[in-house]
Structure 1
Amino acid sequence: MVAEGITMPDLLPHQLEGVHFLKERKAGLLAFEQGLGKTMTALAAFTELQQEGVAKRLFVICPNSLKRNWAAEIARFYPHFSVTVVDATGRERKSSLASSKADVLIINYEAVRAEVTILRGLLSRHPCVLILDESHAIKNTATISHTATINLGELAPYRWLLSGTPYTNAVTDLYAQLTFIDPSGAIGPEDRFVAKFGNAADEPAELRELLAKYMMRRTKAQCLTLPAKIFEDRTLVMPDWQAEIYAAIRDRLVSDVAGMSAKEFQSYLPKGMNRLLRLWQVASNPALVFKSEMRTPAKFTALDAVLATLVAAGGQKVIIWSSFVDTIKTLHARFSPLFETAMLYGEVSSEERAKAVARFQDSPDPMVLIANPAVAATGFTMTASNVAIYETMSWRYDFFAQSQDRNHRIGQKREVTYIRLIAGGTVDEQIVRRLEKKASAAGAMLDGGVGIENDSLSRQEFLDLVRAASA
């Protein structure tokens, strides 16, 4: 029940189910697919608990880029809540935490690591709800973030995880989150969990059965009638000069790795991955590796053509996703003289990111938003555009999946086209294949699909990545 004078926003049926799940289960994972309103659902559940006198305060731990999104959502739909957003550092941050009496306290994962003692004190004063947003951030049990959140979770009678992509790479991602929900030891030790579920290649039903005890999963296909997603792969032919640079780096790397034993390769793997990164960069923009390189790579030429049609002539808004900050800056310099262009990457403040996205959403003018999925793949609504171009695709499945749903979510009325720019005969082609396999694995565990894959990287798999389609 909600007190008189407090207006609750209208919730969709799946969100009402989510409210019931969070309240009844107390500790659980709300794994709604991106765009289904996890934040709204969690806030509604907390509002009811507070009005019932069961919980007094809400503590939200989230990525730094999402703190302002949480605050904005609360101000819009729950203006009766007082909110503290922890932005300061050092003594100022400690003072802000210690003095806060707000209904909702929002803090990022990095700050939590340094302030566990103060946060434990705050949590111990009153019955509280503790939310970990984008909870796959604690997927590694060896990190300080995981240890810190476990220490806080034991003091919160309600512990809620929110993530549309709880599985991003391996079953250990799930293990770390499950131990936050249930720290009793019932999940068992990590090595036993991995041994049992890490190679469930044929039928992951047993893992799904375990997850069902702790998780509520809903997909957009189940809950919403949204326009279709259309994927358009454009395989590009690199100009001779770019292809020659790529081939020289690739051939040297293949030669070095081919003569290694399996044991030697495992020791070499970190260095090998750095050299693989260089290949990926050259396939995108050789200037990332060779700073003096001024020639135009294939992907820039392709972007020139697409934006000339869609933005300059068509008056549309377009999102460009790139994994490299220097490329984002270069593209901004290239296109900003032609039409309005904004950038989202780590050095752009949270406030400026929010302003850029608001301008993108609200302006009637054509515009290009160039974004790094590491900072912009979650928390933003970009439904003003129905075209997204992947200049590069992240190796991380969660970045790829979440970035798609910035503009394929509630409010989108048009079909959404995703254009993937792929440098032919390069590691780009292998990235696409591996992302598709990871998508299959995630679906197998979370949504009942088949085809879960153990994402280890052997010497032969590494060579396959490097050689790509060059043979």
Structure 2
Amino acid sequence: MAVAGAAYQMGAIETVLIVAPTSVCAVWPKEFEDAATFKFKVNVLLGDKKQRLRELEALKAFPFKALKVAVINYESTWREEIFEALLDWKPDMVIADESQRIKSHDAQQSKAMHKLGDVAKYKLILSGTPVQNNAIDIFSQYRFLDPTVFGMNFYAFRNRYAIMGGFSNRQIVSYKDLDELIKKEHSIAYRVTKEEALDLPEQTFITRNIRMNTKDRNLYDQIRRNSFAELESGGQITAPTVLTKLLRLQQFTGGFIQADEGDKPELVFRGKLDALEDILEDYVIEAEKKLVVFCRFRPEIDLIQRLLDRRKIRYCSIYGDIKIDDRGDIVKEFQTNPKVKVFLAQIDTAGLGITLTAADTCVYYSVNFNYAAYSQSLARIHRIGQRNRCTYIHLVVEKTIDETVLKALAKKEDLAKTVVDDWKQFF
């Protein structure tokens, strides 16, 4: 953002296209709002095709002097009509956030990014892991960034730096001249390690903001209004009654609601599930790291387990129904088995007393209202035996109870004890 802002203030650019994983798209507007010292207009291109195109047209038509920024996810860049609209827009700068998403030179989204980069005056890639498993991962990212570094032809690049073997001589068995590759890579790159970032905190907290579409927002607001009306006309206000209404809102942002007469939860919102799948892609599948995921509700556990099964990611789980005597072996399996990549748990059940230092990253799919329980859960990965800095990712649906709860936890408040005094702020 600072680079784009400086370029705008120097008169070098007026338009920016930011391409990011879906769950990261909503982060960018907040970053501009919190830190930009220049005038800007940011539109996030999410929703169906018509919505995305409408947002782009609205940005183009914005009448005031400002840096115009469009944010879109990788999977949409190559879609029919959307790709053509982005190409016709000819943004002055294109930023590839988490650029390892275009490491495959022949993937549709990589090809789209190459072409979008070709029409832009300035390009930028951002990644903590530009090369995750294979040195050839760098080619496609640099084909977008600056084709003069490694050329335009993937096979010429592979022949230059890879040694082929295996079946029909089609497998990369080793590499050569990597010093030259690294030198070329660093000719236009700037790298800062965690150790060099002396002001980097030992614990890093990240919020992944998730937006609702119009249909989801209307349903959420209907539940919120009904809950408010029931409390307003319900006579004496008590903590249990307020918390019960808040639970319904929190269940919705987690993806489900259960009708009063229903016997099982109904999936109504996929925002957090899609965001978690993005995180799994980056941290578990690509970076091959272990991950801890905390949830509040059992239906969330079930949703995530189905996702992990579909992605063929091995995991272990602890929730209320798991026998206490079995939990030690489950934790040990996660800690010692390199094939088990995800520890999935209810925060009330597994937020205390266990050691999960095989992971240094923890995702909060949802949290409860108790600060003490939340604080204890932070220490599952941040304890003796942990050698890495710890990262905590909170999934937060914008303009919902999620934001209220997270703010309260940041103030070390226990919502269960304070909702009665000021219950209206939560609705």
- Structure 2 length as normaliser, TM-score? 0.49
